[in-house]
Amino acid sequence: MFVTVTANPSVDRTIEVDRLARGELHRATRTQVHPGGKGVNVARALVRNGVKARAVVPVGGAEGTQLVALLTEYSVDVVRVPTAGAVRCNISVIEPDGTVTKLNEAGPPLTGDDSVAIRDAVLSVVSDAEGVVLAGSLPPGAPDDFYADLIGRLRGVGVDIAVDTSGPAFLAAVKAGPALVKPNLHELEEAAGRELPTLGDVIAASRELREQGAGAVLASLGGRGAVLVDGNGVWHADAPAEVRCTVGAGDALLAGFLSAGGKGPDALGEAVAWGAAAVSLPGSTMPGATDIKGRVARIDARPDPARSTR
């Protein structure tokens, strides 16, 4: 059982169009609605592949009710934390070549009482967890150390903690010492304070995060695969994929890594296979076993440091 914590969940509407032109009327060719937010997506991916997951989510308004209903349809065990503000709605517009235009709401403000309620809910449901995932952006009003504080409070529980967030919240969480962090290239560049045009640059920046407190770094590089840096070595892996939509692919990648034990090159290969399957599916659909089957990741224990990340 994995417990995921999403401080700023969403109801995600994905709209496919033939062509996106600013200021014009568009008619959708396909529309999907999914429960969203990084931690929510990780839980969905795990459950689709037979791994139990429990999602802790703050919910409010009609959108909050819809979010819980959607998660229940996916057989995710939902821990509701009532809040006054309505859950945000995000819109992704996808063109035939895979180009995604996203419109994300900021989300409802999180009060001090809301933060305490989420923290207490998490601490009350982790006794049977093999891992905890703290993921997604923080809503307005949440302190930068929201996830870092949770890491400190969970330290005595004896579970591995994975973090996937960005900005000041990411840097604060790294210093709190999670077992794993999963930045994408943009987030890693933001944390490093510089561009990372090669695998060698990514590896160097990942090692810096380990020096700051992270146990391992799983850096997702989009079409360039992913890099894993831990205390035992450095690996790079990628897998071929026909890109249809990239929304949620990094979350599927993290779920695949955790499902395979959360350590080492074999887990990295599984992660990349899940990510490749995800980008081949419409909207933020999480891949199932039939989508992943047959996808083989190429794992390199001696990645070329000069290889481009773009």
Can you give the CATH number for the domain in which 142 is found?
A: 3.40.1190.20
306 located within any domain: no
- The pLDDT tens digits for 253-309 are 999 999 999 999 999 999 999 999 999 998 889 999 999 999 989 999 999 999 999
In a domain, 143, yes or no: yes
Long-range contacts of 71-75 (CB under 8 A, 24+ apart): 71/35, 71/40, 71/43, 71/44, 74/35, 74/44, 74/47, 74/48, 75/47
Assigned domain for 310 exists: no
pTM: 0.94
Position 307 in a domain: no
Instruction: Encode 107-144: b = buried (16+ Cβ within 10 Å), e = exposed.
Output: bbebeeebbebbbebbeebbeebbbbbbbbbbbeebee
Q: How many domains does the chain contain in total?
A: 1
Determine, yes or no, domain membership for 46: yes
Q: Which pLDDT score, from 0 to 100, does residue 284 have?
A: 86
Rounded distance between C-alpha atoms, residue 188 and residue 201, angstroms: 10
Task: Check if 304 is active-site.
Answer: no
Per-residue pLDDT tens digits for 262-273: 999 999 999 999
Q: Does 13 reside within a domain?
A: yes
Q: Given the residues 144, 251, 300, 304, select the one marked as catalytic.
A: 251
Per DSSP, the three-state class of 269 is helix
Q: Give φ, ψ of 287 to 5 degrees.
A: -70, 145
Residue 180: inside a domain: yes
The reply to whether 305 falls in a domain is no
Domain region containing 237: 2-300
Strand order in the sheet with 10-16: 30-36, 10-16, 88-94, 100-104
DSSP state of 136: S
